[in-house]
A and B are shown apart, each in its own frame.
Chain A
Amino acid sequence: MTAPPDLTPLATAAPPAKAATRAAYGEALLELGASNPDVVVLDADLSGSTKTKAFGKAHPERFFNIGVAEANMIGVAAGLAAQGKVAFASSFAMFATGKAFEQIRQSVCVPELDVKICATHAGLTVGEDGKSHQMLEDVTLMRVLPHMSVIVPADAVEAHQAVLAAAEIAGPVYVRLSRASTPVVFAESYRFQFGKAALLREGRDLAIVAMGVTVAAAMGAAELLAADGVQARVINMSTVSPLDEAAIAAAAHDCGAILTAEEHQQSGGLGDAVAQAVVKHHPVPMDMIGMDGAFGQSGTGDELLAYYGLDAAGIARRAKALLDRKATASTGV
């Protein structure tokens, strides 16, 4: 294991600000387009929604709209990357990973190419479109692929930096982005570090490890818990693969209980990744919050997050139950 993590919580944003991570993606792409002539962008008839349109306007010769044909888009991206381009490919998370999984495996990950899949409209917060569009299995699909790096930014500040980083990371990268405007967690001074967990709040009663939109909810849960005298450590695990196992081992050691929270199926996602690290390094009581084997449904993003227990109140509830288990485990009752 490496050096103990710095336990100074990072500066966080003033609460009311909201922004969409997909908007940050569009802006970062424009910067990359200006700074790196090898960056090319592909889309599948969703360039207004995924925010690649601005890049297409600025660099029409380096922008390819493939139409409603996601598997073909990934194949074409692989060909461009095989010839030295850094290919950003976008669609909704459902279609970018679901329609094109096999092409991502065979044509992108096996040859370890510079294809950066930046997929928007992930998770429940896509809202009213319903279950056909609410991708809740993409992190599972992507994190099990050898050579694929997986990043799930917590907010627009981190998304912007993660997209810039993706261009530098060698090989395939998956960046998971949201449609909805979600709370801004980080101050502008935040610096995303690929492969490193970010500590947002220190505490020793339990650790809440979250990714994406549930990071803000985890911070809210920590507030609720603090009002009851419970101090929760909150960790933003934006790099899901490769996982910062040292941060997990330290959290298990220091807090004695770990709760994960994700806008994703419990199976195969962040919870599973963290559980593997906990089992390997320092077994402690654990619980996982995510979709419990259900598909989503139509509704507003906030309604759905609350219904499926992914808001601050839901996370705090499960944290309390986990604390009971931790107490039982330590007293042996």
Chain B
Amino acid sequence: MALTTQRRDEIAEAARQVRIDTVRMVHAATCGHPGGPLGMADFMATLFMEHLRLDASNRHAPDRDRFVLGNGHTCAGYYSLLAQKGLIERDELLTFRKFGSPLQGHPHRNLDLGIDFSTGSLGNSLSVSVGMALAAKLNGWDSRIYSASSDGESQEGQIWEAATAAAHHGATNLTVLVDFNNVQIDGHMRDVMDVRDLRVKYDAFGWHAVDVDGHDIDAIDAALVAAREETSAPSALILHTKIGQGVSFMHDQPGWHGVAPNDEQARDALLELGVAEADVAAMIG
């Protein structure tokens, strides 16, 4: 069933909150990765708000869905969504990356907060997600494993070992969401290491694979529904996004992969994201 206008607006608002929180968190930490979470915000918000069965009430239920953030450097946006779902205190968000905070620079497994797995080293997580999917099936759980990945992470050979195993062992309850923004640390993919057509690759590995506009909430929702209904293969959503989406000076700029905005840049970004001037002043100081 298609999203109602109201539901779509709620998801768009959650995505805007992800972008605002990401800018504030990375600014407050004076380091971190703003670009990726801004680009992923629309599909992450659609997943978390509409599909992923994880909230404060079921966090310890064994048969709930699981989420693994393979591109762990983009965790600011992930933490924002966990806060929006009541798993993390909002106040805690600004401790991101600081000594003693549970909100580590890359996710550290913490089931009380709904963080299902430790990540940060690219390439490892799809294998882990395959294992989680196989365990859910063995246990007879009607749960889905969602795994985020990226074009940069797709350069790791282990991703393709996992992709082979997922299809072979029938991990049909697994959906990977690949953030395809054509950017990695050293620049655009075409200049560093071209991964070419990821949909064709996943397809060749035996997956149900589709290209999706990663900023079109209706299209993302429809693709997630189709993935859940696909019972013969694992599903790959190749989400075409722009790094830094929503903040014009970060848009499609590899330089914003892992640099914190200064006060002025954070102020500009928050204003562009629709935060009122007085609130921005209170946030940035």
Q: From residue B157, how far is it (CB to closest CB) to chain A in Å?
A: 6
Q: From residue B244, how far is it (CB to closest CB) to chain A in Å?
A: 17
Bound CA span A128–B193, Å: 27
> Are B120 and A95 in contact, with the CB atoms below 8 A?
no
- Within the complex, which residue of B97, B98, B120 is in contact with A132, where a contact is CB–CB below 8 Å? B120
> What string of 1s and 0s marks CB contacts (under 8 Å) between B118-130 and chain A?
1111110000000
B: interface residue count bin: 20 to 34
> Are A49 and B185 in contact, with the CB atoms below 8 A?
yes
Number of A-B contacts (CB under 8 A): 92
> Are B104 and A298 in contact, with the CB atoms below 8 A?
yes
Bound CA span A299–B102, Å: 11
Knowing A47-B186, A132-B106 touch, does A299 contact B100 (C-beta < 8 A)? yes
> Are B153 and A68 in contact, with the CB atoms below 8 A?
yes
Knowing A45-B192, A298-B99, A299-B99 touch, does A98 contact B121 (C-beta < 8 A)? yes
> Are A48 and B186 in contact, with the CB atoms below 8 A?
yes
Q: From residue B182, how far is it (CB to closest CB) to chain A in Å?
A: 13
Bound CA span A43–B100, Å: 33
> Are B105 and A67 in contact, with the CB atoms below 8 A?
no
The yes or no answer to A65 lying at the interface (CB within 8 A) is yes
- Within the complex, which residue of A48, A49, A68 is in contact with B152, where a contact is CB–CB below 8 Å? A68
> What string of 1s and 0s marks CB contacts (under 8 Å) between B64-101 and chain A?
00000000100000000000000000000000011111
* Interface size counted on chain A using CB atoms at 8 A: 32
The yes or no answer to A303 lying at the interface (CB within 8 A) is yes
Chain B binding surface SS class: loop
> Are A130 and B121 in contact, with the CB atoms below 8 A?
no
Which residue of chain B has its CB nearest to the CB of A67?
Answer: B193
Which residue of chain B has its CB nearest to the CB of A66?
Answer: B193
Which residue of chain A has its CB nearest to the CB of B103?
Answer: A298
The yes or no answer to B234 lying at the interface (CB within 8 A) is no
The yes or no answer to A161 lying at the interface (CB within 8 A) is no
Bound CA span A66–B152, Å: 11
Q: B193-241: which have CB < 8 Å to A? A: 193, 195
> Are A65 and B193 in contact, with the CB atoms below 8 A?
yes
Bound CA span A303–B193, Å: 37
The yes or no answer to B46 lying at the interface (CB within 8 A) is no
Which residue of chain B has its CB nearest to the CB of A129?
Answer: B105
Bound CA span A46–B153, Å: 13
Q: A43-91: which have CB < 8 Å to B? A: 43, 45-49, 53, 65-69, 71-72
Which residues of B come within 8 Å of A, CB atoms? Answer: 29, 31-32, 72, 97-101, 104-106, 108, 118-123, 152-153, 155-157, 184-186, 192-193, 195
- For this complex, 5 residue pairs linking A to B, each with C-beta atoms less than 8 Å apart, are A66-B193, A68-B122, A132-B119, A132-B121, A298-B101
